[in-house]
Amino acid sequence: MAQLLGSCGQLTSPFRSAESRARLGRSRHIQPCLARSSARNQQELCSGPAHQLAALKTAAAGALVSACVLLAPPALADLNQAEANIGGEFGIGTSKQYGEAEINGRDFHGEDLRRSNFTAASCRNCNFKDTKLQGTYFIKAVVAKANFENADLSDALMDRAVINQANLKNAILERVIFTRSDFGGADIEGADFSNALVDKTQQIALCRYASGQNAFTGVDTRKSLGCGSRRKFASSAPSSDEGPQVADDQKKAFQSTMPTYRQ
């Protein structure tokens, strides 16, 4: 490909070597044989080596030019404007885009942010109190000391997140993925962890001080975490074949709360 594109540059370059200019001059003297020959020597001129070589060069040059046109890369074309305006999954309805954004201390109190993206965002001290956050993405997000009191985070992806010293009072955390996340010092009084995926080490640490009952679902925090007897603890682990399963009525209840962006 590189050799072919290099040949394209030679064809279109205004600078030619002396040898190429000489060859070009000789080729100009080879006129169509039928136009300048007599009837007697037409066959000799048309079948001669010089004419065959000139015809071969002409055909090769035409093929090379065609290949250059077809294979040459586009010249810094802009993105399709219609495609750029679509914006993908986010930026539609309640779905906002804060991926990798630095929004420390931002106040989202009471907003509807369902299915929004906070992946790898820095959300230290953000206020998400009373916020709708169902189906959001907090993957690798830093939400240290953030306020999630009374927030609904059902079905959110919050794995590998930093949740240290966050306020999760009365937060609904049903079916949230918390794998490899750090809850160090988080306030979980009244939080509902029903069917959430929490690492064993974090689950043990949270059960040491878990308390309260969720004001919205009525679920006991310790029960939702599987705290208590060894049997309850084992059955609460999602890796167990007897672990928590999402009931059909819970699935339907979740789907009914989600907005429809496209039919």
All structural domains of the chain, each given as residue ranges with its CATH number in brackets, are 2-71 (no CATH), 89-239 (2.160.20.80)
**How many Cβ atoms are within 10 Å of 122's Cβ, its own excluded?**
17
Q: 123 vs 103, 113, 139, 148, CA distance in Å?
A: 5, 14, 12, 12
Q: Which two tokens stand for residue 239?
A: 């890796």
Dihedral sign for Cα 16, 19, 23, 25, please: positive
Distance CA 205, CA 226 (A): 12
Among 76-90, 123-137, 189-203, 245-259, name the one with the lowest average pLDDT: 76-90
Confidence of residue 112 (pLDDT cuts 50, 70, 90): very high
- Mean pLDDT, rounded, for 49-76: 59
pLDDT, mean over the chain: 76
Question: Please, is 51 exposed, middle or buried when counting C-beta atoms within 10 Å of its C-beta (0-12, 13-18, 19+)?
Answer: middle
Q: What is the pLDDT of residue 252?
A: 77
Mean pLDDT value across residues 136-140: 96
Alpha helices in 72-109 (DSSP H): 81-86
Quick one: what percent of the chain has pLDDT higher than 70? 56
Mean pLDDT, residues 185-212 taken together: 95
In this predicted structure, what is the pLDDT of residue 30?
46
Does position 44 have pLDDT exceeding 90, yes or no?
Answer: no
Confidence band, pLDDT 50/70/90 cuts, at residue 200: very high
Question: What is the value of pTM for the model shown?
Answer: 0.58
Shortest CA distance to 67 belongs to which of 11, 130, 117, 125? 11
